[in-house]
Structure 1
Amino acid sequence: MTPEQYRQFQRGLDAIREAERGPTGDALASTPTLDLWRVLIDRRPYPMLVLWGEVSGHPKLGTDMITTSRLIALNRNAGWARSVSRWYKLGRPFAAFEADLASRMGQANAKPGSLVFHLPGFAAIDDAVALEQILADHIALMRRIGANHGID
């Protein structure tokens, strides 16, 4: 592992540990908000999850449409997500926007994914069980790699 790979790997493990503890009130107070967010998956060469949406209050990007760094954890009930690089407060999910738009168009029973969504290289993932499994598999893989390299 090169020194840069080591630093990136350690950053990922640190994010996993932080996500397991959950964010502090202070951390969330200064955290960017992600609105109209959706979880996306890139399956090449192995599943990688990110969040896409409109961020506000980002320290480098301000307000813009973004794709986050790799998603580590997502807690919809508590309203937060953790990527490798930072915490996010979750605002309105894209699925709610879809439902509102479908209702306005007379399709009151529209399901998530009814709007065509295309970001090259990614697909939307709306299955909460599959999402949790992919996150758990990634964390387990990171821990195995870390153990094999003496990184905790």
Structure 2
Amino acid sequence: MRSARPRLTLRQIALRNARAAADVDLLESGWRPDARTLGTAPRIEAWIETLYPGTSQLALAGKVSGHPVLGDRHILTSPILARGPGWIRTESRFYTLGAPGPVVAGETFHELLARLKAEAPPQSDAGFTPPTFNPPDWRDADDALPKPTDGCK
């Protein structure tokens, strides 16, 4: 089983949003991503357009490779902000587009994901150990605090 994606800090969210807004401004002014920008972007194959859950915004579902956080696996992108020939800009990053996937009418995202996983070659998790988290035991923390001596109750 894969570990859950780490939650972004408020600072990371602010930086991501600022970069996305700057890219959208550039794209609206006529700029297009160059080979260097797209050369470092993850690639998404066998993709289909779908709605991002809980919104009316479009996203892509498919098999990504070279993702800096998620690695190589099936994903649902964040909502699409802009698109061009062979690329998209989502809320989080640019992606280059491989071949689109087969569309099955009425298929939900979860049905698509199950189908894509069934069609994918098996991957070994050998040697993978999920991280563990051992939270501190705070139940008796008050016992370790000094008792007030200045008349406070």
TM class, shorter-chain normalised?
0.5 to 0.7
For the pair 1:73 / 2:63, whether they are aligned, the reply is no
Give identity over the alignment, percent: 30
Matched residue count: 99
Partner residue in 2 for 1:59: 68
Distance in 1 of aligned mates of 2:19 and 2:40: 20
Q: How does 1:99-118 map to 2 (within 5 A)?
A: 112-114=103-105, 117-118=107-108
Q: CA deviation at 1:73?
A: 1.4
Runs of 4+ in 1 over 6 A off after TM superposition: 3-6
Q: Which residue of 94, 97, 100 corresponds with 1:90?
A: 97
CA displacement at 1:11 relative to structure 2: 4.2
Task: Name the Cα RMSD after superposition.
Answer: 2.7
Question: Unpaired runs of 5+ in structure 1?
Answer: 99-111, 121-152
| Paired residues for 1:19-30 under 5 Å | 19-20=27-28, 21-30=31-40
Gaps of at least 5 residues in structure 2 are 1-9, 111-153
Q: Is this contact kept in 2: 1:81–1:90, CA < 8 A?
A: yes
Give the TM-score normalised by structure 1: 0.54
**Residue type of the partner of 2:22?**
D
Is contact 1:19–1:72 with CA below 8 Å preserved after alignment?
no
CA change 1:42–1:113 in 2 (3 A) is: same
Change (3 A) 1:74 1:64: same
**Cα offset for 1:30?**
1.2
Which structure's relative contact order is higher, taking Cα pairs within 8 Å and 6+ residues apart?
A: 1
**Which one has the largest radius of gyration?**
2
The TM-score normalised by the length of structure 2 is 0.54
